[in-house]
Chain A
Amino acid sequence: MTTPTLPARRELPPLGPITRLKLPRQAERTLPNGLTVIVVRRPAVPLVEVRLGVPFGRAHLARGALLAQTLLAGTERMSALRIAAELQKVGGGLSAGVDPDRLMLSGVGLVTGLDRMLEIMADVLTGATYPADEVATERAHLVDRIEMAQSQPSHLARVALLRRIYGRHPYAVQTPQPDQVRAVRPAALRTLHAERVHPNGAVLVLVGDVQPDRALDAVERALGGWRGDGREVTLPPTPPLEPGPIRLVDRPGSVQSSLRIALPAVGRTHPDHAALQLANLVFGGYFSSRWVENIREDKGYTYGPHAMVEHSAAGSVLVAGADVATEVTGPALLETVYELGRLASLPPGEEELEQARRYALGSLQLGMSTQAGLASLTSAYAGSGLRLDFLAEHAARLAKATVEDVAEAAARYLAPARAATVVLGDAERIGPGLAVLAPVESEPAST
């Protein structure tokens, strides 16, 4: 038996009046040493979120990765174990990571432990010693982690896509090779730290149950003595996307193929950005999009297709990705190109644009509703030289974008003719099906 399809008897309730975006209380100060500090108050739970971003573009890949793993491995005053225990004592924790633009030191703790967390941060930022034993340990673990990643299809597809779209730009390779990591010595880490871990140009974001002005004073007390005048390192802008043949990367025996399609995009402040974001949503950037409804809900080719605009200091790019069953690789790519082409050629419908617009505006509200969300957002914005008040500006642009604006953005950025496409999968099984759609160039799976 099936549930009979009855005429709808109940009406969908309307939405209530929209709540205006309300920015939380915040304060900002740039210390004499060049560190910018932004404090945002959200007292919901008695915690404080910490995000420190230090400019790190063009840092040596293997040394940078290992520096992030060993920044908290010891100082003149404290061993690695002591640092970990002292942070834990105030309910806190810190971890460091790198991306092509920034070294990030992130954490969270009980707000009563803020001063102690700042003290420990100051200690590692000004006096990390990179002890030989700890460096050897973390080096071995990092090698293991990289080798582990190299067995993951998502990682391999990402590596191949970056190489395909960035060519000779520093963004082209973002994971070091195991041998490069094995060659790093503690002295090289100390040198890199001295050269690059500086307050000048760095941004520290605190979000939580804090009084902004008092928290600024606390940061100034703890980190005012962090010195160094790091030279400015700028990255050249990313090269324009070069369309070309489908790049097929072989992963023999793969039961799924990883499709990755890169398209041109613009930065957060570009006048096209809001319209591009809406065009991307209509295409595939959320569940209720044409692409997801087509290849998942209609055809069952995939579980979780995704498309988003990725922003970096040197440029932005739109990446659409889906992992599809090996036997439907060609058909899935065909539908993808069809949906991109359809939106680039024909304007979206009024109602589907309104739906995407309400989703985009709602996402801004949801993103600001937790301490962790606010901290990540504030820190990401600061990385682009923006502040939270840009949210209101962005919301206004999203609200104003017309069908014509979105159609224009789609024609400009989502056109399949502009795409760079990488497919990772079992080349023998999927090659012929891809070759009927477009020229294919093969590359063996490398890491």
Chain B
Amino acid sequence: MAARRSRIPATKYPVERFTLDNGLRVVLTPDRSAPVIGVAVVYDVGIRSEPEGRTGFAHLFEHLMFQGSENLEKLAHFRHVQGAGGTFNGSTHLDYTDYFETLPSNALERALFLEADRMRGPRLTEENLRNQVDVVKEEIRVNVLNRPYGGFPWLTLSPVMFDTYPNAHDGYGSFDDLESATVDEAVDFFRRYYACGNAVLAVSGDVDVAEATELIRRHFGDVEARPAPVRPDFGEPDLTAERRQSYTDRLAPMPAVASAWRVPDPITDFTTYLAYVVLAEVLTDGDASRLVERLVQRERTVTSIGGYLGFMGDPFDVRDPTALVLQTHLPPGGDVDKVLRTVDEELDRLATDGLTDGELARTQARMATHLLRDTDAVLGRALRMAVLEQQRGEPGLLNDLPRLVGEVTEEQVRAAAATLRPERRASIEVIPGGAR
């Protein structure tokens, strides 16, 4: 078949940036195509920054940010957002924590008021803390402890690959650590990390730039100015010898294995890094991808396979150190060694023989579709731009991602594949302990 390239389209979302006197960075991206807005506040603190002995604290604190603030009682935040016709949530990542709403555009000022109020200070009380420790424990039970493959691989692979506490510990946290958390620690965490200078506000969708700017100044202008804390270097040396561990999951009916290899710095070496983002898709995106075609379809040695950048699966919102991850589920009695050997073989073949005619272009075309689809949602735009501003000072990169992905060359993908050697690999194997 002829390798006719699909032309990669671009988006042209406008980007307005400014910084308030108190250090809060702001990104606006107007789009009047639907009467809805996205509001995101991103704080530069995540799982890697939580104190030793306090695993899960960044996520627990995220919950506390919803429990009332200077002018708002407990429950008020939820009621005000939803009572305006909107939805809300927050999430905790390795390098940041985000808080966000999508609302009909007539609620813009209300959303800004709510975010500014908790930026001034949440109500950190013993009662709220105990209640949310209980809620978080149920979250961990539902997502990790009461289901098969809970926490696989994001919680179980990091400690094999990394040696230092910030990179290796369990981001959901142990029940002991969560139960030991105190209000004073929460107050200290807020003072240190939830500073204006450590935050980015992004507003997208049906807004007028001048009006939104005025409202943002009105509501955030007098939030106390505190500078961002110095972010430590979380770097770790690369692996020099293969690492492999296993554990028995008493609920899992079948084996599974996940592997990770370190990749270049996503911020300072973005061009090289992008080749790995494309490589992950060449390997695993869809039935025509290399590993799916061979392992899932032809040899049936695995039931499913996924490949992605970053332990939490988003290539564009993580800093160094990070990894390319491949995760597979095997059929009953599947042979993990054989699967790992086949992956090595395919990586060799890719590095040595290169790609087939049209293979790279079709992978890039579908990557463009996924990127565009994510930004169609007004909130997806606000969140992504907020993080790009925070980590790169470049929110407009969002418009360029489909094109940049499309510019990755075959040579770059081959070079990336050549670095994924067994001696740089960390793997975690799930041994099934579940009754069948």
Contact = CB atoms under 8 A, between A and B. Distances in A.
A304 B135 CA distance: 9
Contact of B372 (A46, A93, A300, A366): A46
B75 A293 contact: yes
B87 A8 contact: no
B142 A2 contact: no
A254 interface: yes
A363 B82 CA distance: 9
A365 B36 contact: yes
B85 A363 contact: yes
Contact of A141 (B103, B252, B296, B376): B296
A349 interface: no
Given A19-B105, A93-B286, A303 B135 contact: yes
A92 B369 CA distance: 7
B246 interface: no
Nearest to A296: B135
Given A88-B362, A287-B78, A152 B148 contact: yes
A358 B83 CA distance: 6
Interface string A126-142: 00000000100100110
Contacts of A3: 69-70, 121-125, 187
A255 B141 contact: yes
Interface string A141-159: 1001101101111100000
B288 A88 contact: yes
B34 A369 contact: yes
A5 interface: yes
B109 A16 contact: yes
B303 A44 contact: no
A183 interface: no
Interface string B138-169: 11011001111000000000000000000000
A369 B204 CA distance: 13
A88 B363 contact: yes
B272 interface: no
Given A13-B110, A255-B146, A144 B254 contact: yes
Interface residues of A, number: 91
B409 interface: no
B288 A84 contact: yes
Interface in B293-330: 293, 296-297, 300, 303-304, 329
A171 interface: no
Most central of A45, A253, A370 by chain B CB within 10 Å: A45
A108 B254 contact: no
Contacts of B88: 287
Contacts of B69: 3
A200 interface: no
B303 A141 contact: yes
A386 interface: no
A365 B107 CA distance: 13
A80 B287 contact: yes
Given A144-B303, A144-B331, A288-B75, A323 B372 contact: no
A147 B376 contact: no
Interface of A: 1-3, 5-6, 8-10, 12-19, 22, 42-47, 72, 80-93, 108-110, 112-113, 134, 137, 140-141, 144-145, 147-148, 150-154, 253-256, 286-288, 293, 296-304, 323-325, 354-355, 358-359, 361-363, 365-366, 368-373
Interface of B: 1, 4, 6-7, 9, 11, 31, 33-36, 69-72, 74-75, 78-80, 82-88, 102-110, 113, 117, 121-126, 130-139, 141-142, 145-148, 183-184, 187, 250-254, 285-288, 293, 296-297, 300, 303-304, 329, 331-332, 358, 361-363, 365-366, 368-369, 372-373, 375-378, 434, 436
30 contacts: A2-B124, A3-B70, A3-B187, A8-B72, A10-B113, A10-B117, A13-B113, A15-B84, A16-B108, A19-B35, A42-B33, A45-B375, A88-B362, A89-B4, A90-B6, A91-B368, A112-B6, A112-B9, A137-B300, A144-B303, A154-B147, A256-B141, A256-B146, A288-B83, A297-B74, A297-B135, A301-B138, A303-B138, A369-B377, A372-B376
Q: What 10 A-B pairs are tightest by C-beta distance, nearest first? A: A362-B85, A300-B134, A16-B106, A84-B287, A84-B288, A355-B83, A91-B365, A19-B35, A85-B288, A369-B34
